[in-house]
């Protein structure tokens, strides 16, 4: 039952702008961590870009579940978890983080900010605390009040894409991925093992 | 990048050497991995050592692996000689890249047998391989072979010691046998850690958990304390891995073993004081002031104490089951929709009932059989067992614990009363009734469709179980 990454973005007109991110990569093998981190950033940004304003969604990709909330003011958060981690707690976390962030960071800074300049320090702590969903969320035992029918479920990343769009192209163009990660993605693809770097 | 054969040869020799040297430089390496790196960078070694992690750049693997693989096969076919040191280095490299290459492990078995290799080395190598290949069947298999070697050595040594002692009227060499048994204990705990790490790296890692079971079966036979400890130490782990079927299966194994221990203890309790061993492994569920320091052969007054031991262990096992069902309920409620948890519940409940029935049958043959569907913990008229000294509240009245001695005196047939008592359930013990009410409470409150499905299936299963057991 794990959370791997928690990130805050601003959904711009054409692309998502990463404002802050926290990662827990301890369960990945040491030499894969930097690539994994890049792919998680890439994935989170892509999901924000493809999710409509004012909606929540969960995207399944291999053994990961990415949960996203894009607010009406375009402030967005994504958490990447495994399939055991309760979905309801994820959305509670996203709500909480966005609320706190919007109080601490002025909205004027959202469209153009970046992780280095953004002054919000609590993301790591939230990620760490929520690793144990029951400690973090005393309400877990109470069944969901969250209207789960309103959460869109995507069974693959592909279903987020436009017709004709290919994930490979997006990977190649992405500014979130270093050359090594891109090259590795290519080889993994060729061997038909998809993103098994994760 | 076309490499000539000589170039490959040179490259590979260098890489094998770099790996060997890395281990020499850093004896604390605890993880291996492949570094995604499509091209070599100007003559630098592909072996990278960072913070106790040993990495091999991916570009060289396609040269390295076939080459060393081939070399070892040629050696095996007696077409190419390799001295012992070279064998050690080559098999090490090979196994870090592909630990399912049985031949390499077998070469190491030979090296072990002629004393060139220390068994600990192979345990270490296996541990490293498992950081990258946590399921690797051959690694686990070889590990068991090595552990068996260690166990055999241990037995041989202690056997020799006993013989020595019998031969000469010397004081027993307590120190060195203590050392040996400490060594074994350390090895046991290390194995638990290795299994746990591997279980974390791959979900439902059947091979890792099976190995863990094997280790307990071979290195902790009859040691109730270890089983108890394992039950407590895996509790948090399974709570954080609620769909790991193998993890829960391990707990089912532990419970089964504890039942078996209970039987053996009961059976042999009157024969010798082996109950002493069992009672010393009880978990701290309350103050057990118990005169259980019986040594072998003392039977006077031991009858009563052994009777108590049997009662005690009965109660203990019952408590374990109760705790397990409670854990299960807790997880089912907190994390709806995981089939593993429901499956675990079935196993535990079934085990519990089987054991209770067998226990009742063995202690007294006849009537007053507590039917599962009759049993309502709230309506028990007989005072509950309270060896823990705590006061059970039944139907709002407090029943203080009654010492055995009084019962024996007050009732005409003391043995009957004891048997009766043994058949009674502790309040809170899972019964068919309580299980039904649990399922109903889930069905009433849940909105997760999967959870609903599992709950309904469990309800149906309960009815089947009643059918079988009535």
Query: In the predicted model, is pLDDT for residue B433 greater than 60?
Result: yes
In this structure, chain B runs to a length of 470
Q: What's the average model confidence in pLDDT over B260-274?
A: 60
B48 vs A contacts (CB less than 8 Å):
31
Contact B243 A31 (CB under 8 A): no
> Does A53 lie at the interface with B, CB-CB under 8 angstroms?
no
Per residue in A89-128, pLDDT tens?
999 999 999 999 999 999 999 999 999 999 999 999 999 9
User: Considering only A31-45, A113-127, A170-184, B65-79, which range has the smallest mean pLDDT?
Assistant: A170-184
Query: In the predicted model, is pLDDT for residue B298 greater than 70?
Result: no
Q: What's the average model confidence in pLDDT over A18-26?
A: 97
Position with higher pLDDT, B221 vs A44: A44
pLDDT level of residue B167 (50, 70, 90 thresholds): low
Reported ipTM: the value is: 0.88
- In angstroms, rounded to a whole number, what is the distance separating the alpha carbons of residues B137 and B67? 23
Q: What's the average model confidence in pLDDT over B144-160?
A: 90
Query: In the predicted model, is pLDDT for residue A62 greater than 50?
Result: yes
Burial class of residue B193, CB neighbours in 10 A (0-12, 13-18, 19+): exposed
> Does A29 lie at the interface with B, CB-CB under 8 angstroms?
yes
Query: In the predicted model, is pLDDT for residue B376 greater than 60?
Result: no
Position with higher pLDDT, B176 vs B272: B176
Query: In the predicted model, is pLDDT for residue B400 greater than 50?
Result: no
Query: In the predicted model, is pLDDT for residue B314 greater than 90?
Result: no
* For testing contact with chain B, the best of A28, A31, A58 (most B CBs within 10 A): A31
Chain A nearest CA to B332, separation (Å)? 9
The tokens describing B388, both together, are: 């823990």
Q: Percent of chain B, pLDDT > 90?
A: 52
pLDDT level of residue A73 (50, 70, 90 thresholds): very high
Per residue in A138-148, pLDDT tens?
654 444 455 66
- In angstroms, rounded to a whole number, what is the distance separating the alpha carbons of residues A21 and A114? 10
Query: In the predicted model, is pLDDT for residue B396 greater than 90?
Result: no
Per residue in B47-95, pLDDT tens?
999 999 999 998 899 889 999 999 999 999 998 889 999 999 999 999 9
A32 vs B contacts (CB less than 8 Å):
33, 36
pLDDT at A175: 87
Dihedral sign for Cα atoms in the order A194, A195, A196, B1: positive
In this structure, chain A runs to a length of 198
* For testing contact with chain B, the best of A27, A30, A135, A150 (most B CBs within 10 A): A30
Chain B nearest CA to A142, separation (Å)? 8
> Does A52 lie at the interface with B, CB-CB under 8 angstroms?
no
Q: Percent of chain A, pLDDT > 70?
A: 88
Residue B138 CA: distances (Å) to CA of B144, B208, B429: 10, 12, 43
Residue B460 CA: distances (Å) to CA of A117, B99, B465: 59, 45, 9
* For testing contact with chain A, the best of B61, B240, B331 (most A CBs within 10 A): B240
Per residue in B194-233, pLDDT tens?
999 999 999 999 999 999 999 999 999 888 899 999 999 9
The tokens describing B299, both together, are: 């039977």
Query: In the predicted model, is pLDDT for residue A136 greater than 70?
Result: yes
Residues 6+ away with beta carbon under 8 Å from B94: B65, B68, B69, B72, B101, B104
pLDDT level of residue B389 (50, 70, 90 thresholds): very low
Closest residue to B240, CB basis, from A1, A180, A183:
A1
Q: Give the count of beta carbons closer than 10 Å to the beta carbon of residue A149.
A: 6
DSSP secondary structure letter of residue A56: E
Residue B417 CA: distances (Å) to CA of B213, B360, B399, B407: 39, 13, 17, 7
| Segments making up each domain of chain B, as ranges | 1-98
Residue of A nearest to B48 (CA): A31
The tokens describing A174, both together, are: 């992405």
Position with higher pLDDT, B44 vs A194: B44
Closest residue to A29, CB basis, from B48, B51, B132:
B132
Query: In the predicted model, is pLDDT for residue A183 greater than 90?
Result: no
- As its CATH architecture, domain A3-161 has 2-Layer Sandwich (3.30)
Q: Are B179 and B111 in contact (CB under 8 A)?
A: no
Strand-strand pairing, A75-82 and A64-70? antiparallel
Q: Are B417 and B411 in contact (CB under 8 A)?
A: yes
Averaged pLDDT of chain A: 88
Query: In the predicted model, is pLDDT for residue B168 greater than 60?
Result: no
Query: In the predicted model, is pLDDT for residue B403 greater than 50?
Result: no
Query: In the predicted model, is pLDDT for residue B384 greater than 70?
Result: no
> Does A30 lie at the interface with B, CB-CB under 8 angstroms?
yes
Position with higher pLDDT, B119 vs B288: B119
- In angstroms, rounded to a whole number, what is the distance separating the alpha carbons of residues B366 and B416? 11
Instruction: Supply the DSSP string of B174-239, one letter for each residue.
Output: HHHHHHHHHHHHHHHHHHHHHHHHHHHHSTT-HHHHHHHHHHHHHHSTT-HHHHHHHHHHTHHHHH
A86 vs B contacts (CB less than 8 Å):
334-336
pLDDT level of residue A137 (50, 70, 90 thresholds): confident
Contact B242 A1 (CB under 8 A): yes
Averaged pLDDT of chain B: 79
A83 vs B contacts (CB less than 8 Å):
243
- In angstroms, rounded to a whole number, what is the distance separating the alpha carbons of residues A56 and A148? 10
Contact B447 A148 (CB under 8 A): yes
Q: What's the average model confidence in pLDDT over A162-184?
A: 87
Query: In the predicted model, is pLDDT for residue B323 greater than 90?
Result: yes
Q: What's the average model confidence in pLDDT over B128-140?
A: 97
- In angstroms, rounded to a whole number, what is the distance separating the alpha carbons of residues B401 and B287? 13
Under an 8 Å CB criterion, which residues of B touch A? 31, 33-38, 48, 50-51, 53, 55, 58, 131-132, 200-201, 203, 240-243, 333-336, 338, 445-448
Contact A144 B335 (CB under 8 A): no
Coil, strand or helix: which one is B355?
Answer: helix
- In angstroms, rounded to a whole number, what is the distance separating the alpha carbons of residues B232 and B234? 6
DSSP secondary structure letter of residue A63: T
Query: In the predicted model, is pLDDT for residue B144 greater than 50?
Result: yes
A177 vs B contacts (CB less than 8 Å):
none
Query: In the predicted model, is pLDDT for residue B165 greater than 70?
Result: no
| Segments making up each domain of chain A, as ranges | 3-161
């Amino acid at each position: 039952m794990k959370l791997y990454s928690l990130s805050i973005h601003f959904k711009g007109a054409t692309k998502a702008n990463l404002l802050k991110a926290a990662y827990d990569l301890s369960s990945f093998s040491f030499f894969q961590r930097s690539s994994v981190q890049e792919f998680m950033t890439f994935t989170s940004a892509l999901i924000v870009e493809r999710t409509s304003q004012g909606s929540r969604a969960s995207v399944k990709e291999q053994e990961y579940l990415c949960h996203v909330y894009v607010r009406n003011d375009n402030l967005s958060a994504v958490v990447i978890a495994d399939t055991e981690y309760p979905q309801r707690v994820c959305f509670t976390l996203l709500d909480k983080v966005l609320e706190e962030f919007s109080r601490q960071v002025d909205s004027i800074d959202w469209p153009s900010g970046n992780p280095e300049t953004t002054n919000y320090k609590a993301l790591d702590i939230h990620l760490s605390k929520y690793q144990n969903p029951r400690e973090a969320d005393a309400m877990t035992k109470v069944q969901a009040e969250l209207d789960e029918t309103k959460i869109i479920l995507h069974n693959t990343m592909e279903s987020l894409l436009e017709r004709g769009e290919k994930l490979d192209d997006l990977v190649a163009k992405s500014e979130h991925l270093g050359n090594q990660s891109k090259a590795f993605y290519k080889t993994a693809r060729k061997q038909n093992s998809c993103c098994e770097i994760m | 990048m076309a490499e000539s054969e000589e170039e490959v040869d040179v490259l590979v020799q260098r890489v094998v050497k770099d790996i060997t040297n890395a281990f020499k430089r850093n004896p604390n390496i605890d993880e291996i991995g492949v570094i995604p790196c499509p091209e070599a960078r100007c003559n630098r070694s592909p072996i990278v050592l960072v913070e106790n992690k040993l990495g091999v750049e991916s570009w060289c693997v396609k040269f390295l692996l076939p080459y060393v693989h081939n070399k070892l096969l040629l050696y095996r076919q007696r077409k190419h000689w390799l001295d012992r040191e070279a064998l050690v280095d080559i098999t090490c490299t090979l196994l870090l890249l592909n630990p399912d290459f049985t031949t390499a492990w077998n070469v190491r078995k030979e090296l072990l047998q002629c004393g060139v290799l220390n068994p600990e080395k192979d345990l270490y190598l296996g541990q490293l391989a498992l950081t990258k290949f946590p399921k690797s069947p051959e690694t686990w298999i070889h590990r068991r072979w090595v552990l068996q070697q260690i166990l055999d050595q241990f037995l041989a040594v202690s056997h020799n010691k006993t013989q020595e002692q019998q031969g000469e009227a010397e004081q027993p060499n307590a120190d060195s046998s203590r050392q040996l048994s400490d060594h074994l204990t350390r090895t046991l705990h290390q194995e638990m850690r290795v299994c746990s790490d591997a279980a974390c790296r791959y979900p439902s890692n059947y091979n890792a958990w099976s190995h863990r079971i094997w280790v307990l079966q071979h290195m902790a036979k009859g040691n109730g304390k270890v089983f108890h400890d394992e039950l407590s130490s895996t509790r948090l782990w399974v709570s954080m891995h609620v769909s790991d079927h193998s993890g829960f299966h391990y707990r089912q194994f532990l419970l089964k073993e504890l039942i078996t221990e209970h039987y053996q203890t009961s059976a042999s309790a009157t024969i010798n004081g082996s109950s002493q061993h069992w009672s010393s492994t009880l978990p701290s569920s309350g103050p057990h002031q118990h005169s259980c320091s019986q040594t072998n052969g003392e039977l006077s007054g031991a009858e009563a104490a052994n009777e108590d031991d049997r009662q005690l262990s009965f109660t203990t096992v019952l408590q374990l089951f109760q705790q397990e069902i409670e854990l299960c309920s807790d997880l089912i409620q907190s994390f709806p929709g995981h089939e593993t948890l429901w499956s675990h519940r079935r196993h535990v409940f079934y085990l519990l009932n089987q054991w209770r029935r067998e226990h009742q049958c063995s202690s007294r043959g006849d009537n007053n059989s507590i039917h599962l569907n009759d049993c309502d913990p709230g309506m028990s008229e007989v005072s509950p067992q309270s060896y823990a000294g705590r006061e059970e509240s039944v139907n709002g009245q407090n029943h203080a614990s009654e010492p055995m001695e009084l019962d024996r005196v007050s009732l005409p047939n003391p043995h009957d009363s004891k048997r009766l008592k043994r058949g009674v359930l502790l309040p809170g013990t899972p019964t068919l009734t309580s299980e039904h009410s649990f399922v109903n409470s889930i069905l009433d409150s849940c909105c997760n469709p999967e959870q609903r499905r599992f709950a309904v299936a469990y309800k149906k299963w309960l009815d089947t179980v009643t059918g079988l057991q009535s």
